Structures are given as C-alpha cells and as structure tokens.
Amino acid sequence: MSPPSRPDIQSLPKAELHRHIEGCVRAPTILRIAKKHKLPLPTFDEAELDKLVRLRAPMKSLEEVLRMFSIAQSVFVSLEAIEELVWELLERAYSEENIRLLELRYSPDFMLKGKNLDWQEAFDRIHSTLERFEKTHAFCGGLILIASRSFGMESAQKTAEFALRNKGRVIGFDLADSESAYPPSLYAGLAARLREAGIPLTVHSGEEAGWESVLQTLELLKPRRIGHGVRAVEDPSGRTLGRIKAEGVTIETNPWSNYLTHSVPSLETHPLPKFLKLGVRASIGADDPDLLDTDLNKEYGLAVDRMGLTMDDLRLANRCAVEGSFLPEDKRQEAAKLIGEKPEI
C-alpha cells in the first residue's frame, strides 16, 4: 500500500485534544490588533515580526520561547480582540486542517496577565464564540482551563476555583509548564477536588521531566489524560506505560512540539508508533500551531514520513482522540459521526 498523500491527509476529518489558544496567533493578526489598540510591538514589519513569534528550529532556551509567547499574549487585550482571535483560529482549524472535534485550552492567568479584563467576562466571550461557531459549522468544541505551574500555587488554586464556578461549561482542567520545579505532589488536593466535582484532568507530564514524574502524576493526580507523555517510554520496567494502558489514560502526543522542545531526540524515535502498537490510547495534536510553525496536516505528514504510520494508524489516533475527549457523551457521539469513526466508548 502506498503511503498517504498530502491531499489524503488534508481531507481526513480530524479530532484534536491539545491546542493552546495563546499559541494560535499569527503575525498578521498580531499586527492588525496591535495597530487597532495602539499596542507597542518590537517591529511592525510582518516578516520581521513572524521571525519573533514563530519557532522554526529546536529551541535554544526556554526564555526564547517565552519571549515569543509574550508577544502573542499581548494582543489578548479586549473582549473584542479575544473574540476575533478565537473565531479566526476556529475558522482556520476547520477549513485548513479539516478539524471536526477540537478541545481548546488556555491559562486565564497567563492570557489575561497585565490586562484590564475580568476572567469571567473573558471566559464568557471565548465560550460564546465557540458556541456561535458550533451553530454554523459541522464541528464540536470544548474549553479546558490551565493552571500555569510557574505562576505558583495561589494562581493554581484561583484557576481551580474558577473552573469549579464554571462547571458545565469547562470540560476539563490542565496543569502546564515547569513540571520539574512543581512536582505532582503539590497538586494532589486540588486534583481531588476537581475530580470529585466531575471536572476531568489532563496534565502536561513526561515532556520536560522524566518517566518518574509521569508515574507520580498517575498515582497522585489520577488524570484521564497526559499531555505529551513521551518520556513514559523511558521507564525500563515498562510499568509506567503499562499503567497508562491499564487505566485507559489517553496520551495527547504533539510530535513537532516534542522535537522542538527536545523531549524527543528526533521524530524517528518518537514513541507515538509504539503507543499505538501497544494499544495505548494516543492522539495527535499541534500544541501551539502558530508559535511552533505547525498544524495537524504537518503533524500527520511527519507521523507518516518520519515515523512510518499508515492512514489506518492516523484514523486510529483520531478514534483515540474521540474516545479520550472530555466532551459530554452526546457531543462525542456527534463528533464520532463527523470524523467517520466509530469509537469504542
């Protein structure tokens, strides 16, 4: 069988579980919003700005990526700008990547830091924009709130309280960044409260820190999904992956992101094929598509060209995404129909 072609990949209806809203901002959009709101930028030349907001090669330092993020973050400046940014990212995901199920996530403390905006009003606007998009497109979406670990425990508690207040409209909760400096044990109480309230967890783990952190995350936080999780394969006993499989945890892989952040030495050694072969539920995501110069078409292409996946493997990863989705049952069934896959759920 010949490998899938680019048109085959583009036209495949897709499901994605791991995409940061703050990582979906293009240089022309930054320019447009900055001019409208009279915001300062390091440059108003589009090509120059593109270089400052898009990582094109494996990162040299975390600071390099944070600088890029801070430029994108600066344009989440008003409710109108937020609506414009979210609508644009949804339209692009739908038409360019053929995404039919999309779980979006953001960190309120990061996105709105230094802005004169209320968390609730911003959330309401993002949620209503998503609902408006769903009404006019064959598409299912949901919102996950992130606590940025590097913002400290008070920020994490505040974000968790905010998620609890918006239960029903928030589909899940995530812990992101600085995994080594902020170990899972710090979040056991917070995770238990969210789980008991019926808000499922996904945790960025096994990206910067090793398999031991993934194992601790599973034990202490009991997440339904792991973001990245690539280093789980480094456990020589195989216990970490065994547990992920036995507990039905979904690994949200983001291959190009994992390569750029040095979580994997090369795409050829990425564990995605291994996950799928072992029967571990694994999805494919783009993480921060504009910041990392990628999208799902590119991710699927890399999975084929560099990891040897077939069209059937790509469909399996899509099915895994629907099965692992935090969306309510009726929406998941609807999404399954849209991507033409029957999930075993």
Compare residues 287 and 299 and give the one whose CB is closer to Zn ion.
287
Query: How many residues bind to Zn ion according to rule CB under 5 A?
Result: 1
Compare residues 235 and 287 and give the one whose CB is closer to Zn ion.
287
Q: Shortest approach of Zn ion to residue 225 CB, angstroms?
A: 12
- Whose tokens are 């008003």? That residue is 78
Residue 287 makes contact with Zn ion by CB under 5 A: yes
Q: Shortest approach of Zn ion to residue 62 CB, angstroms?
A: 14
Residue span binding Zn ion (CB under 5 A) among the ranges 90-98, 155-163, 281-289, 335-343: 281-289
Query: 144: which 2 tokens?
Result: 């996950």
Q: Which residue is closest to Zn ion by CB?
A: 287
Put residue 309 in one of left, alpha, beta given phi > 0 → left and psi -120 to 50 → alpha: beta
For residue 246, CA distances in Å to 115, 237, 243, 344 come to 44, 15, 5, 15
Q: What's 249's DSSP letter? A: P
For residue 109, CA distances in Å to 25, 79, 148 come to 18, 15, 8
Residues 6+ apart with CB under 8 A from 210: 231, 234
Compare residues 288 and 313 and give the one whose CB is closer to Zn ion.
288
CA–CA separation, 224 and 201 (whole Å)? 6
Q: Shortest approach of Zn ion to residue 287 CB, angstroms?
A: 5
Site string for Zn ion, 151-190 (x = CB under 5 A): ----------------------------------------
Compare residues 22 and 287 and give the one whose CB is closer to Zn ion.
287
The amino acid that residue 52 corresponds to is L
Compare residues 106 and 211 and give the one whose CB is closer to Zn ion.
106
Does residue 217 contact residue 240 with C-beta atoms inside 8 Å? no
Residue span binding Zn ion (CB under 5 A) among the ranges 216-224, 259-267, 284-292, 314-322: 284-292
Q: Shortest approach of Zn ion to residue 67 CB, angstroms?
A: 18
Residue span binding Zn ion (CB under 5 A) among the ranges 76-84, 106-114, 122-130, 286-294: 286-294
Q: Shortest approach of Zn ion to residue 294 CB, angstroms?
A: 12
Residue environment code for 175-185, b if the CB has 16+ CB neighbours within 10 A, otherwise e: bbbbbeebbbe
Compare residues 103 and 287 and give the one whose CB is closer to Zn ion.
287
Q: Shortest approach of Zn ion to residue 221 CB, angstroms?
A: 16
The amino acid that residue 63 corresponds to is E
Residue span binding Zn ion (CB under 5 A) among the ranges 67-75, 183-191, 263-271, 285-293: 285-293
For residue 196, CA distances in Å to 148, 166, 205, 277 come to 21, 15, 22, 33
Would you tell me the crossing angle of helices 46-53 and 27-36 to the nearest 10 degrees? 110
Residue span binding Zn ion (CB under 5 A) among the ranges 31-39, 283-291, 305-313, 316-324: 283-291
Task: List residues near Zn ion by CB under 5 A.
Answer: 287
